Structure 1
Amino acid sequence: MFEDLRASPEVLWGALIAFGIVVLLTPAVGGMARLLGVVDQPDARRLNKRPIPRLGGLAIFLGILVPSLAFLDLSGEMRGILLGAAVACVVGAVDDFRGLDPVPKLAGQVAAAAIPCAFGVWVDHFTFPFVGAVDLPAWVGMPLTVVWIVAVMNMVNFLDGMDGLASGVCAIAGLTFATLALSLGKIDAAVLSAIVAGACIGFLRHNFFPARIFMGDSGALVLGFTLATVSVAGLLKTASTVVLVLPLLILAVPIIDTSFVVAKRLKYRRPISSPDRSHLHHRFMDIGFSQRRAAVTMWAWTASLGAAALATRFIPFRAGGHWHAGETIAVVVIALSALAFSVYVIYLLEIVKLANPRVRRRRSERDDEQRLSA
């Protein structure tokens, strides 16, 4: 790994430059957002108790764009990714400024996702265990890729409801993608993933609790778009069997959050785009977690799943076509630790109906307080 990094120092330099640009530029973007009135006002659904400017995504986008222009090969796939990211940023910024209805917003997301496909960033084959590589025609692979990109854009957008949560999760995902892509020889994907991680860490300087600025849709859509496209360019288009599940592991937290929220809204026949307080971070707050503790817990959850992905890639448990006991045990222990963390969160938040006396007691006390206050 360190040899790969020494051979490709632009991975590290890209992350550092992105970090510096976002740290320095975000306060100016926040001031501009206040002047333009692009501010999140407190309400019953939101967690902020005072007006907070949005549009932090503009700083994130510029933090991604500048080092990308310096270090990436823009003659092919990366050009399509940056153009699509620019469209995603514009769609998100318009939504931050004026608010977009779900249909035009979705149309803008599809347009952004279609751009990298036109430049060759689409899944043209999958490699399945015991089956091998299965080629996909363009009429199948391109729509699947667009669906994946749009889905991840919205997952990150859904996740962005607590100070530092989305930026921290995306930073961990970016670092993990960068490490995997670098090991697979996908240098441009590794550089872009590292740049995303650097931009997110820089944004955390201003976004962690108590946040002074929110990334808004302009940031969430750009981060979701970029992570989705680098997962295709850097992982899914390789001949390795194990990488098929790695993006799902790395992005499992936003996937679980979105799946749970969408399922609940469908169950109660509410529009999928309607806001509510059923996200995982809201449930953490409902059981008494502070914003800091909730965000850090979800970061740790993401990191545990990322560690499982890295272990699957780097520990040679089946080198040479033979199982190796020590390495297999190490991978199993790491995977079980990530699974145990996931089960703990599911139990803690009662994502499925489990008997959790502490949560039920806390809810009962809260209901009693509400009745007394009434």
Structure 2
Amino acid sequence: MREYLLTLCVTAAVTYLLTGPVRKFAIVAGAMPEIRARDVHREPTPRLGGIAMFFGLCAGLLVAAHLTNLHEVFERSNEPRALLSGAALIWLLGVLDDKFEIDALLKLGAQMIAAGVMILQGLTILWLPVPGIGTVAVTPWQGNLITVALVVITINAVNFVDGLDGLAAGMVCIAAMAFFLYSYRIWYGYGVEAAAPATLFSAVLIGMCVGFLPHNMHPARIFMGDSGSMLIGLVLAASAVSVTGQLDVEALNVDLGGTRETTHAMLPVYIPLLMPLTIIAIPAADLILAIVRRTWRGQSPFAADRGHLHHRLLEIGHSHSRAVLIMYFWSALIAFGALAYSVNSASMWIVLSVVLLSAVGLVLLLLPRFTPRAPRWAERFVPPRYRRRGKASADAPAAAEESEDRIPVSVGVSGANGATAVGRRSGAR
């Protein structure tokens, strides 16, 4: 665990320290496009935050390769190199898109190529564990198609949800935390070495998101852009592919005493069929709804609009920060709920807790104008808007914040020819 934590901290530190210089580089490079109708920020903000995240990924893998225990992952598996190759390709694509706006179909093709690069180096699904049946082998073509589909869907799901400050990085960080605990339990709890690469990938992904979030929280000083959203989506997909398709459950029959005992004791191994979906449940739902909504209107599935889940939260009255926290809440509930179920599927307390927390989440959705207040002893540790003050002074900042976040405003910058240039951000495609 200490080596994983060290890798996580190194990744976070490199990402955090490089984000400032990358922001200055993005401004000089002119990576501050126009504000679009669906954007909610009000000032031109630089993109290319994915540059810092990619170098954080490289630093984390480099450190892990020289640690006492983690270096065995690089010796016994080619998956870290496969991840780095695919990540480099998708990152370069994202950098070009942040600057020059690449066509959506061209990006989709490049995403498939990045997935193919990882497949050629061994990061692919070989078999699927099916409850009650056991391990079902898939043909190379079937495994490759499933791998490409999972990678492309995850990348675009994360890209679609990148519409508010700190939203994509925070949701992926939550998913990565749940997946890290899940794969770490399989690796050290059951001694399944095939889960070691996924554990490493999840730790590095957490570090990338944690290091970038301080610069990206509302009001954001820099956006990750497609260079960041597609990158963390690919790393998340690589973790899922690694632990889903590389794990042979039947090999444990000898140690656990038969198929029935293995099926019961290795229940977490079967969760990979659902875990990759639960960790991106909210982004995937947003992706599906966007495709259906745009197709129903006769538009291209890649056409931009303001119908995403985070836009709807703003429209019903939630502030920017509260909308992000609500999305965090639902992501954590689904991901950690699935994780808890994988640990003890027979416990009714888990089901009751999920139901209760779901009810709490629904209440939060129905109370967009509710401003929570911290206890007096904790007021010094929370932002001013959560402190107990006079009614007038307490309500004014909250109302101002909500009105600012709900109403998109374009900020004009006069140019030399008298025209107006506006900046925009990278959001969902």
TM-score range, shorter chain: 0.7 to 0.9
Match of 2:82 among 80, 90, 94: 80
Task: Identify the match of residue 303 of structure 1 among 325, 332, 355.
Answer: 332
Q: 2:216 aligns with which of 201, 204, 207?
A: 207
User: 1:357 corresponds to which residue?
Assistant: none
* Counterparts of 1:20 and 1:155, CA distance in 2: 27
Cα deviation for residue 43 of structure 1 reads 3.2
- 8 Å Cα contact 1:189-1:233 kept in structure 2: yes
Task: Give 1:291 deviation, angstroms.
Answer: 1.0
Q: Contact 1:10–1:191 at 8 Å: present in 2 too?
A: no
- Residues 1:241 and 2:283 aligned together: no
Equivalences, count: 334
Tell me the amino acid that sits aligned with residue 181 of structure 2: T
Cα pair distance change 1:152/1:345, threshold 3 Å? farther
Task: Name the CA distance, whole Å, in 1 between partners of 2:333 and 2:293.
Answer: 26
Q: What is the CA–CA distance in structure 1 between the aligned matches of 2:364 and 2:204, rounded to whole Å?
A: 30
Identify which of 320, 328, 349 aligns with 1:291. 320
Q: Greater CA deviation, 63-72 or 285-294?
A: 63-72
Superposed, 1:86-101 pairs within 5 Å as 86-101=88-103
SS at match of 2:310: helix
- Matched residue of 2:39: which SS? coil
SS at match of 1:39: coil
Counting only pairs closer than 5 Å after superposition, residues 84-163 of structure 1 correspond to structure 2 as 84-163=86-165
Q: Is 1:28 paired with 2:28?
A: no
Give distance in 2, aligned partners of 1:293 and 1:266.
30
Please say if 1:331 is aligned against 2:333. no
**Inter-partner Cα distance in structure 2 for 1:113 and 1:57:** 19
1:256-307, CA deviations, whole angstroms, 9 ceiling, x for partnerless residues? 1111111111111110111100100100111111111101110111111122
For 1:308, give the aligned amino acid: G
- The answer to whether the aligner puts 1:166 opposite 2:168 as a matched pair is yes
Please give the TM-score of this superposition, normalised by the length of structure 1: 0.85
Shift of 1:74: 3.7
Contact 1:304 1:341 in 2 (8 A): no
Task: Normalising by structure 2, report the TM-score.
Answer: 0.74
State yes or no: 1:230 paired with 2:232.
no
Match of 2:280 in 1: 251
Q: Which moved more, 1:61-70 or 1:124-133?
A: 124-133
> Partners in 1 of 2:170 and 2:80 — Cα distance?
24
Q: One-letter code of the match for 1:333?
A: L
Question: How many angstroms does 1:315 deviate by?
Answer: 2.5
Residue matched to 2:55: 62
Larger radius of gyration: 2
Query: C-alpha separation between the residues in 2 aligned to 1:347 and 1:116?
Result: 44
Which runs of 5 or more structure 2 residues have no equivalent in the other structure?
Answer: 66-72, 188-194, 250-268, 369-402, 408-429
Query: How far apart are the structure 1 equivalents of 2:9 and 2:105?
Result: 37
Q: Greater relative contact order (Cα 8 A, min sep 6): structure 1 or 2?
A: 2
CA distance in 1, matches of 2:100, 2:106: 13
